[in-house]
Structure 1
């Protein structure tokens, strides 16, 4: 038996994925078998080789190419912009993992901007009952009042503390298939064109609402200027704007650089940090203001998750 772990990346995210995978490899049990699959649409031959070369005796790293037809219903339009800023198809790939890999009844998904600090088998072996998936409540937005308002008033999820971050997922793959998650996703995205600031995450929260197992916070420790660091995190996730390759003083930054030193991308990552200017950092912080402005626009729209849920059911 193998423990399946998935990432979804665009080509330019290869250096960060390589560091994340190395951190996972550093903590595996030599007596267990692991298969890491990276879902991509396009990737350079060099990056593909770099990632596959991370494979060890009991960790097998593979590249899987997403079929363009599968993601065709997802349009490059403002409603599907990540953080109300830009379109990236790769954030949606995770929604298709259960259908693409029917040989697995459960699997782990990880964002590429994560550092794994324990054996990922511990997460894989977590019992989540008949829930659709397990994730951690999104603490990166917990103390940002306008975003809490967004979850409650635009998403219609109450209390907003229920809202999860899907950068770390333990999938009940069989339940996703049995409940026809992808069919529901296609139907909703075509019918309503919901405007979201976190589109992939919004659809998972909404379709699976009340069938989500909440993991302890140490499974998705995110930089947060309103909280102290979580001691002994199991997974660190550099969510939103505060990446260690952009901010030298970011919370949990040491976890990233301790692993990055072993990566063939170390010099490139150091150069990224050095070239990211104070003006760039200022812009990164103002990007949060842009998200908040977008929330005000969504609240006034005729079609929102909250308004639709008052008249029909979008839950599984």
Structure 2
């Protein structure tokens, strides 16, 4: 038996994915087998080789190409812009993992901007019952009024603290297939064109609401300037603009660099940090203000999750 682990990336995210996979390998049990699959649409031959060359005797790294047909129905309009700022198709790939890999009834998904600090099989072995998936509540919401407003007034989820971050997922793959999650996703997207700050995450929260198993916070420790570091995190997730290759003083940053130095991308990543200017950093922080403006716009739209849920069930 193998433990399936998935990432979804665009080509430019190869260096960060390589560091994340290396951290997974460093903590993998030598007596267990792992299959790491990266879902992509386009990737250079060089980057494909870089990732596959990370493979070890018991950690097998593969590239899987997402077909254009599968993602063709996903609108590239502003309603599907990540954080209201840009469109990236790769965030949606995770929604298709259960259908694409019917040989697995359970699987782990990780964002590429993560560092694994323990054997990922510990997460895989968590029993989540008949829930659709397991993830951690998004701790950043607790300290950001604009996100509280978004979850309450746009998403209509109460309390907002139960809203999860889907950068770390333990999938009940069989439940996603049996409940036809993708069909529900396509139906809601085509009918309502919901405007979201976090399109893929919003659909997972809404369609699976109350069928989500909440993992302990150590499984998705995110840099947060309003709270101290979580002691002994199991997974570090550099969410939003808190990237160690952009900011020297990011919480949990040393976890990233300790692993990055073991990869061929170390010098490239150090150059990214050096070349990211103070103006670039300020623009990154200003993105939060843009998110706030987007929330005010969404609240007034004809169709929001909160409004639609008063007349139609969006849950599986």
TM bracket, shorter-chain basis: over 0.9
Match of 2:305 in 1: 305
SS at structure 2 position matched to 1:223? coil
Partners in 2 of 1:210 and 1:61 — Cα distance?
A: 34
TM-score with structure 1 setting the length: 1.00
Equivalent residue for 2:193?
A: 193
1:264 is paired with a residue whose SS is: coil
Consecutive unaligned residues in structure 1, runs of 5 or more: none
1:248 corresponding residue in structure 2: 248
Report the CA distance between 1:76 and its aligned residue. Answer: 1.0
Please say if residues 141 and 161 of structure 2, whose CA atoms lie closer than 8 Å, have aligned partners that are also in contact.
no
Paired residues, number: 316
Deviations 1:203-254 (A, max 9, x none): 0000000000000000000000000000000000000001000000000000
Does residue 184 in structure 1 map to residue 184 in structure 2? Answer: yes
- Is residue 296 of structure 2 the alignment partner of residue 287 of structure 1? no
Deviation at 1:141? 2.5
Shift of 1:75: 1.4
CA distance in 2, matches of 1:224, 1:149: 18
For 1:168, the equivalent position in structure 2 comes to: 168
User: Secondary structure of 1:86's match?
Assistant: coil
Q: Is the counterpart of residue 16 in structure 1 residue 16 in structure 2?
A: yes
Q: Quote how far apart the aligned CAs of 1:149 are.
A: 1.0
Give TM-score, length-normalised by structure 2. Answer: 1.00
CA distance in structure 1 between the partners assigned to 2:175 and 2:105 by the alignment: 8
Give, in whole Å, the separation in 2 of the partners of 1:277 and 1:233. Answer: 30
Equivalent residues of 2:218, 2:235 under 8 A apart: yes
Show CA shifts across 1:39-60 (max 9, x none).
Answer: 0000000000000000000000
- Deviation of residue 146 (structure 1)? 1.5
Match of 1:56 in 2: 56
How is 1:78-97 mapped onto 2 (pairs within 5 angstroms)?
78-97=78-97
Instruction: Name the SS of the counterpart of 1:169 in structure 2.
Output: strand
CA distance in 2, matches of 1:292, 1:120: 35
**In structure 1, distance between residues paired with 2:237 and 2:155:** 23
Q: Which has the higher helix share?
A: 2
1:158-190 per-residue CA deviation (whole Å, 9 max, x = no partner) reads 000010000000000000000000000010110
Q: Give the whole-Å Cα distance in 2 for the aligned partners of 1:131 and 1:123.
A: 15
Match of 1:227 in 2: 227
In structure 1, distance between residues paired with 2:291 and 2:283: 13
1:258 equivalent in structure 2 = 258
Structure 2 gaps of 5+ residues are none
Q: What is the match of residue 106 of structure 1?
A: 106
**Superposed CA RMSD:** 0.4
Q: What secondary structure sits across from 1:129 in the alignment?
A: coil
In structure 2, the residue matched to 1:124 is 124
Per-residue deviation, 1:142: 1.9
